[in-house]
Amino acid sequence: MTAFGPELAPGSRAGAAAMTSAARKGRSLWDDALRRLLRNRAAVGSMAVLAVLVLAAVVGPFLTPFTYDQLNKQDVWVAPLTHGHLLGTDSLGRDLLARLLIGLRVSLAVGVVATCVSLVIGVAWGASAGYLGGRIDEVMMRVVDVLYSLPFIFFVILLMVTFGRNFILMFVAIGAVEWLTMARIVRGQTLSLRHKEFVEAARAAGVSSGRIVLRHIVPNLLGPVVVYVTLTIPGVILAESFLSFLGLGVQEPLTSLGTLISTGAQDMELAPWLLIFPSIVMVVTLMCFNFIGDGLRDAIDPKDR
Amino acid sequence: MLTFLIRRLLVAVPTLFLVVTVAFFMMRAAPGSPFQGDRRLTPEIEAAINAKYGLDRPLPVQYANYVGDLLQGDLGPSMKYRDKTVADIIGEGFPKSATIGLSAIMGAAVIGVGLGVAAALRQNRAADYLATSIAILGVCIPTFVTAPLLVLLFASKLGWLPTAGWGGVRNLILPVVVLALPQIAIISRLTRAGMIEVLRSNFVRTARAKGLSERRIVLHHALRGAILPLVSYLGPAAAGLITGSLVVEQIFNLPGLGKYFVISALQRDYTVVMGVVILYAGLILLLNLLADLLYAALDPRVKLA
């Protein structure tokens, strides 16, 4: 009790509140990290911008005067700020603002869902390999090595042609390819954790391996994993746009930032706004994630600064 | 050293074999076949073509035949380009892709290390912020945005460089720049982080205490250690670049390997896809081995065993 210092003496209400939350999570460590994060202006600014972008992607499409698939035959290739089209229209007279908001929504959704898939597979695989060790570790990591040696685009094309151009499966496909690096990071961390005292203690108390991994190892992996996640989301958004560039992305009339950019690039001399606005939104989105990721890394692992 | 080389080569062979196996069966598990789709074939003709390429036999037999040919160095005929073998196609495309990719990665390494060192030496000052911003921008702008924009500026508007095509050195400038930009960004970030850490280490303090000039400390003592993280990054990155970037080859209309690869994967040109996958995996294994050797040469603490 005395370890908490005089201001957290038992009996005081603040002390009691602090202690219950301290009991729930490693309070001081994460509090420090949060404080360092909030001092990082680039990261805080990025979080604000990203919040606006997410809001725009979720609510925006309901507020535009045109829908993303509405054809306006008399307003083909209209420049920005004419005929009520804030950002102009495309070759079919569709409103760019409405399409941009839908595209942002799709890209963000792909980023988050695919990253979650890669997170689940990567953490489960890496933590099991690292904790079980020995032969099993060797075999599991060899699988990762082999998959690493196959070109990314090979997987994606195969998954695409196997499962068809299904929106949901595309998320899963990209996530199923992105988990390899996550598995390596998690395994490395697990190797250093498995001989720590608290794991020994759990093992001595007769806790099963699966439970130790789930309750003791995984929570302690959070730091590096969180950082890597914020850097995976932009990677996935890029991967999706790359697929769109190949014509394997989301299907018309639905769209994504990558689809908008690659079609915009085709018409850039006639209608530069079709390339410029989606590119700006894409770059801003990716930059936000990168700044947040850098900020988190500095905050959680201060020696790297 | 020699035992290390032999051991690594002994591990590389089964890895490569596993890659071949996984890629072979994944490719065949995908629906469709090379002779479907383009024209309506009568069942008899389709059966005859399948028989010609051995596709009518059971899968394990086809696999055994393929591996048998492979061991004799025969990658087989292309199934789509009627009178070309896989070796022809790789021989045509690979030198072009490798020229562009190698120029890009080497240029990026020189510029990126320079920027990273400059940023680390002027940490948290204007030059550092400039270099960091360039780095983040470089990571966030996809190649299929930079490529059309640079073409628009330098080819269409200014007319300094050709828009596309394979020819003289002038044709290569834009593709190389487009490929190098994101690499410059990543390399400069890695170098900056490495340099900052090394500059705080004891041997640098010793060098300072001996009264060495700052220039000598940075170039002779710190740089070696600072580029260590870079070495392990460059291997896989170089493999990806020299086997050809599809986006760049498509936009600049270059007859490189990346384009062949994606077209072949989409058309199920089994043998061409396998050939490129083997080339890519072999390059990754080779470059990782080179990276490890370089690592040991740069860091006297690493012992190869």
> Is B225 inside a domain boundary?
yes
List CB contacts of A299: < 8 A, sequence separation 6 or more: A33, A34, A36, A37, A40, A43
Cα–Cα distances in Å, from A155 out to A108, A160, A256? 22, 8, 21
Q: Provide the Cα torsion A200, A143, A157, A286; round to 10°.
A: 40
pLDDT band at B107 (very low <50, low <70, confident <90, very high): very high
Tell me: do B173 and B44 sit in the same domain: no
More confident: A25 or A244: A244
Tell me: do B117 and B23 sit in the same domain: no
**Which chain B residues are closer than 8 Å to A149 by Cβ?**
15-16, 19, 280-281, 284-285
pLDDT tens digits, A150-188: 887 787 777 777 776 667 777 777 887 788 888 888 888
**Which chain B residues are closer than 8 Å to A154 by Cβ?**
23, 261, 265, 273, 277
Give mean pLDDT, residues A30-59: 83
Tell me: do B214 and B173 sit in the same domain: yes
More confident: B164 or B88: B88
> Is B210 inside a domain boundary?
yes
In which element (H, E) is residue A246 found?
none
Tell me: do B201 and B134 sit in the same domain: yes
Of B19, B30, B193, the CB nearest to A149: B19
| Helical pair A167-193 and A222-245, crossing angle rounded to 10 deg | 150
Tell me: do B174 and B148 sit in the same domain: yes
> Is B78 inside a domain boundary?
no
Of B19, B197, B266, the CB nearest to A146: B19
**Which chain B residues are closer than 8 Å to A291 by Cβ?**
136
> Is B213 inside a domain boundary?
yes
pLDDT at B256 over 60: yes
Phi-psi category of A251—alpha, beta or left, where left has phi over 0 and alpha has psi -120 to 50?
beta
- The Cα of B266 is separated from the nearest Cα of chain A by a number of Å equal to 7
pLDDT tens digits, A90-144: 766 677 788 888 888 888 888 888 888 888 898 888 888 888 878 888 888 888 8
> Is B305 inside a domain boundary?
no
Q: Taking the CB of residue A31, how many other CB atoms lie within 10 A of it?
A: 13
Rounded Cα–Cα distance for residues B206 and B223 (Å): 15
pLDDT score, position A5: 40
User: How much is the pTM?
Assistant: 0.76
Tell me: do B95 and B67 sit in the same domain: no
Chain center to CA of B134: 22
Q: How many domains does chain B have?
A: 2
More confident: B41 or B217: B217
Q: Provide the Cα torsion B243, B249, B254, B256; round to 10°.
A: 20
Picking from B71, B97, B131, the residue at the C-terminal end of a domain is B71
pLDDT tens digits, A247-279: 777 777 788 888 888 888 777 777 778 888 888
> Is B113 inside a domain boundary?
yes
Picking from B71, B95, B125, the residue at the C-terminal end of a domain is B71
> Is B203 inside a domain boundary?
yes
Tell me: do B42 and B110 sit in the same domain: no
Tell me: do B150 and B286 sit in the same domain: yes
Tell me: do B59 and B118 sit in the same domain: no
Tell me: do B103 and B26 sit in the same domain: no
Share of chain A above pLDDT 70, in %: 81
Cα–Cα distances in Å, from A305 out to A298, B133, B192? 6, 16, 10
Q: Is the ipTM of this complex over 0.90?
A: no
For residue B270, the domain's CATH number is: 1.10.3720.10
- Eight-state DSSP code of residue A251: P
pLDDT tens digits, B121-173: 877 777 777 877 777 777 777 787 788 788 877 877 777 777 777 777 777 88
B-contacting residues in A 137-166 (Cβ below 8 Å)? 142, 145-151, 153-155, 157-158, 161-162
Tell me: do B141 and B30 sit in the same domain: no
Interface probe with B: pick from A144, A147, A149, A256, most Cβ of B within 10 Å:
A149
pLDDT tens digits, A57-99: 888 877 777 777 777 677 666 667 666 666 767 766 677 788 8
| Helical pair A13-24 and A27-39, crossing angle rounded to 10 deg | 90
Range of the domain at B216: 86-298
pLDDT band at B257 (very low <50, low <70, confident <90, very high): confident
> Is B64 inside a domain boundary?
yes
Give mean pLDDT, residues B40-58: 73
Q: Do B140 and A290 touch (CB under 8 A)?
A: yes
Tell me: do B54 and B194 sit in the same domain: no
Q: Do B22 and A153 touch (CB under 8 A)?
A: no
pLDDT band at A6 (very low <50, low <70, confident <90, very high): very low
Q: Do B140 and A287 touch (CB under 8 A)?
A: yes
pLDDT band at B303 (very low <50, low <70, confident <90, very high): low
Q: Which amino acid, one-letter code, is at B94?
A: F
Picking from B71, B97, B120, the residue at the C-terminal end of a domain is B71
Residue A2 contacts B where some CB pair is shorter than 8 Å: no
